[in-house]
Homo-oligomer: A and B are copies of this chain.
Amino acid sequence: MTKETSGPKLFRAVADLREFLLPWRREGKRIGFVPTMGALHEGHLSLVRASKAETDCTVVSIYVNPTQFGPTEDFARYPRNLERDMELLTREGVEAVFAPDDAEMYPPGYNTWVEVKGVSEPLEGECRPGHFRGVATVVLKLFNIVQPDVTYFGAKDYQQSLVVRQLIRDLNLPIELKVLPTVREPDGLAMSSRNSYLSPDARSRATVLWKSLQKAQELVAQGRRDPQVIQEAMRQIILSVPGTSIDYVALVNPETLTPVSSITGPTLAAVAVRLEGTRLIDNLLLQP
């Protein structure tokens, strides 16, 4: 096997990737798929490793999807480093990388959109109108291109994983979804490609998201059941750090993302915080 040294095959065109995957599929091999926007970190690589361990052929897509960014968001400055990403994926023994350009994904006259309602509406859906429409549309396109048996998503984008779960279920896609735990830096900051936006000083303050989530877990462990009290404690922690503003601090049902009135079962604590122009999100499943 020369796989590790030669690296993954890099595909720019849908037709070429399909041709590559056809013999794998014909031989009944299982295809694993990890969709990413590149700028890969250990969070992505944990998904890649799971796919490598559980399937016969791992496909990673690297595509900064313009349709999931709002007009004032960070599409233009989102980090792109295909060469480094290919090096990382070579080490993991990935079989194929799909890195299309925008004209391949959204050719002239493109006009079809997928909307997952319900779970897409609160939290990120309120802060980023149109975001999940872009996510659902591009994920469905990528699923149709790769036709994987299994796909891997990270729990850091928890709401996204619920949107994809609903998409798969509602549209009868024959795909198994695996959601893997958030990978964190030693100080607790959730790995994110957007962490690279942070100045060294902001980087050290960014641990406040994780601290607020730990505080919530601590209060629940102490028997606190009132979401208002817990959210207020979280907000105080976040706002005590200079340069922060809060998009949301929420305690919600982990299936529906609707607010809970009391912590009686597993509850998702979710936060979105702006820190010196960078928007960070994190979440933790609280177990009373």
Contact = CB atoms under 8 A, between A and B. Distances in A.
A59 interface: no
26 contacts: A14-B172, A18-B174, A110-B170, A111-B116, A111-B118, A111-B119, A111-B170, A112-B114, A112-B115, A112-B116, A112-B136, A112-B167, A112-B170, A113-B117, A114-B114, A114-B171, A140-B171, A141-B170, A141-B171, A141-B172, A144-B171, A144-B172, A144-B173, A144-B174, A145-B172, A147-B174
A223 interface: no
Please give me the 7 A-B residue pairs with the lowest Cβ-Cβ distance, nearest first. A112-B170, A111-B118, A144-B172, A111-B117, A145-B172, A112-B116, A113-B115
A109 interface: yes
A46 interface: no
Interface residues of A, number: 28
Contacts of A136: 112
A22 to B, nearest CB: 10
Interface of A: 14, 18, 26, 28, 109-119, 136, 140-141, 144-145, 147, 166-167, 170-174
Contacts of A166: 111-112
- Name which of A141, A145, A172, A173 has the most chain B CB atoms within 10 A of its CB: A172
A172 B139 CA distance: 11
Nearest to A170: B112
A112 B171 CA distance: 7
A26 B28 CA distance: 8
Contacts of A113: 114-115, 117
A119 B111 CA distance: 9
Nearest to A120: B111
Nearest to A255: B109
A86 B117 CA distance: 36
A247 to B, nearest CB: 24
Given A112-B136, A114-B114, 9 more contacts: A18-B174, A26-B28, A111-B116, A111-B166, A112-B167, A113-B114, A114-B115, A144-B174, A147-B174
